């Protein structure tokens, strides 16, 4: 009888330690946590530091609010139908106010699903109105116009500010088709 009480007490302590370890998580600096309980997302994000959650049925997804840089290659056509290949570096960040909306609306990393398609579309729009020669000669103007178009295409988040902030783009390795 004493053995069964001892085993029961040991099992209870083990379950309490397990539940206690599942109740907390640490959100590192530069990240915000999105609280998800049984598939429902809380409307407010969790800030840096220790975060408490319901054990086993809740999770906290960490989203970076730091500036990030991605590189991509694309091609577009100029007004004189020359193919232009470009390498772009995009500097962007997620504002704190849109962390929850980004998590709910875009699966995983927002770059391939939100930013990259809009960057390609904006560059194609800007390049199609210029000759190939002008694209190469006026790289800075093409960059500024493309950046403005990207920002307009990304749109605003639920709080009225931008959904994502594209800080800057860099156009490099502009190459024209051999024709």
Residue 6 confidence (pLDDT): 87
* Per-residue burial over 103-123, b = 16 or more CB atoms within 10 Å of its CB, e = otherwise: beebeeebbeebbbebbbbbb
Whole-prediction pTM value?
A: 0.82
Tens of pLDDT, residues 55-70? 889 999 999 999 999 9
113, two tokens = 């699903």
Neighbouring C-alpha atoms within 13 Å toward the C-beta of 19: 7
> Residue with structure tokens 């056509």?
77
Q: What is the mean pLDDT of residues 37-66?
A: 93
Complete edge-to-edge strand list for the sheet that includes strand 83-93: 68-77, 83-93, 165-176
Instruction: Report the chain's mean pLDDT, rounded to a whole number.
Output: 90
Q: What is the mean pLDDT of residues 49-59?
A: 91
> Residue with structure tokens 């990240």?
31
Tens of pLDDT, residues 121-132? 999 999 899 888
Q: What is the mean pLDDT of residues 154-178?
A: 84
Asked whether the predicted pLDDT for residue 1 surpasses 80, the reply is no
Distances (CA, A) of 59 to 27, 41, 90, 140: 12, 10, 31, 45
């Amino acid at each position: 009888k004493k053995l069964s009480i001892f085993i029961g007490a040991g099992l209870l302590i083990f379950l309490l330690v397990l539940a206690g370890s599942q109740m907390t998580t640490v959100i590192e600096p530069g990240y915000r946590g999105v609280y998800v309980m049984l598939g429902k997302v809380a409307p407010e994000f969790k800030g840096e530091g220790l975060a408490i959650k319901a054990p086993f049925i809740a999770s906290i997804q960490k989203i970076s609010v730091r500036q990030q840089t991605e590189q991509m290659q694309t091609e577009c056509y100029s007004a004189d139908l020359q193919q232009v290949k470009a390498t772009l570096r995009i500097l962007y960040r997620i504002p704190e106010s849109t962390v929850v909306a980004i998590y709910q609306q875009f699966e995983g990393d927002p770059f391939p699903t939100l930013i990259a398609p809009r960057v390609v579309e904006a560059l194609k729009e800007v390049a199609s109105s210029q000759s190939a020669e002008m694209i190469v000669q006026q790289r800075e103007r093409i960059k500024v116009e493309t950046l403005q178009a990207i920002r307009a295409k990304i749109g605003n988040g639920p709080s009225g500010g931008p959904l994502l902030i594209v800080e800057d783009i860099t156009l490099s390795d502009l190459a024209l088709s051999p024709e």
